[in-house]
């Protein structure tokens, strides 16, 4: 009995020590252990602990995104689940959300929001004569990651104060897109205007490695600035609309 009691006390002490070590383990040391498994993600200026930490710089595919803060939940670890609250700030992209890694290795994101300048979406639209103005607000209700592909995703995007400058200057108003996963595993969505000078209606589809989009654009009430801008966007149609068709490769965006 004395031996059993001694072993039990020893186990409890070891668990306490392990908990203290985990709770106070410097974040920069932990990052060095896993850095080679984070793919295109690179962090610098790391401080804090594994549980609550800060990185002064976060880069993805070489693109500087700003500072990253995280808080790791302890309770889910009891069921071999990893749950972290992430917040990105200080740079052109502002974002926050919850990342969850289940016991079977499935990685998911939910309740995420983000904002970025519209010009960062320029590679997707490929309109070299015009610069995109305004900001894009996004909401990712949920998304599940399998390897390098996202499925079971749903959310929305809103281009606020959409406008262009360059070869032409025009205000478009606000434009919204909603998306969700399709039965074939792709992500499909629709685009429409919210009543501004530009009338827009379109669809898009994102599959592994590529994306396709099509939209009909028209100057509402014959807005002359929008008519001029549409000369540089898509193909002019007989009915006065402009047909914008995009076929691209996702990885070229990075």
CB 90 within 8 A of CB 66: yes
Task: Provide the H-helix boundaries in the chain.
Answer: 2-24, 27-34, 122-125, 224-230
- Contact present, 58 and 95 (Cβ < 8 Å): no
Q: Is the dihedral of CA 88, 122, 147, 182 positive or negative?
A: positive
Tokens 């908990």 label which residue?
19
Q: Give me the tens of pLDDT residue by residue for the chain, a chain 254 residues long.
A: 444 343 444 444 334 434 444 455 677 767 777 677 666 778 888 888 878 888 898 887 788 888 989 888 877 777 777 788 999 998 888 999 998 888 777 788 888 999 999 998 888 888 899 999 999 999 999 888 766 667 788 999 999 999 999 999 999 999 999 999 888 888 999 999 999 999 999 999 988 768 899 999 999 999 999 999 999 999 999 988 999 998 876 654 44
| Start-to-end CA span in the chain (Å) | 64
3-state DSSP assignment of residue 142: strand
For 123, which DSSP code?
A: H
**R_g of the chain computed on alpha carbons:** 24
- What is the C-alpha separation between 176 and 240, in angstroms, rounded? 22
d(C-alpha 252, C-alpha 12), whole Å: 53
Residues in the chain: 254
Residue 75 exposed, middle or buried by CB count within 10 Å (0-12, 13-18, 19+): exposed
CA distance 116 to 95: 9
pTM over 0.85: no
């Amino acid at each position: 009995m004395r031996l059993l009691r001694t072993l039990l006390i020893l186990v409890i002490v070891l668990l306490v020590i392990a908990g203290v070590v985990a709770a106070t383990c410097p974040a920069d040391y932990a990052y060095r252990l896993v850095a080679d498994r984070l793919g295109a993600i690179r962090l610098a200026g790391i401080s804090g602990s594994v549980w609550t930490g800060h990185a002064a710089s976060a880069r993805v595919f070489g693109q500087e995104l700003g500072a990253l803060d995280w808080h790791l939940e302890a309770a889910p670890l009891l069921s071999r689940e990893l749950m972290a609250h992430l917040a990105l700030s200080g740079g052109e992209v502002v974002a926050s959300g919850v990342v969850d890694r289940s016991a079977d290795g499935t990685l998911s994101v939910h309740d995420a929001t983000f904002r970025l300048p519209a010009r960062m979406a320029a590679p997707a639209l490929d309109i070299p004569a015009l610069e995109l103005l305004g900001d894009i607000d996004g909401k990712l209700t949920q998304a599940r990651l399998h390897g390098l592909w996202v499925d079971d995703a749903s959310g929305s995007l809103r281009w606020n104060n959409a406008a262009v400058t360059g070869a032409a200057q025009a205000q478009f108003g606000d434009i919204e897109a909603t998306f969700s996963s399709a039965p074939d595993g792709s992500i499909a969505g629709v685009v429409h205007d919210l009543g501004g000078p530009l009338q827009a209606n379109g669809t898009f589809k994102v599959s592994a490695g590529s994306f396709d989009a099509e939209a009909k654009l028209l100057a509402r009430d014959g807005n002359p600035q929008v008519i001029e801008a549409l000369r540089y966007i898509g193909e002019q149609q007989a009915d006065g609309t402009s047909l914008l068709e995009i076929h691209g490769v996702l990885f070229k965006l990075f």
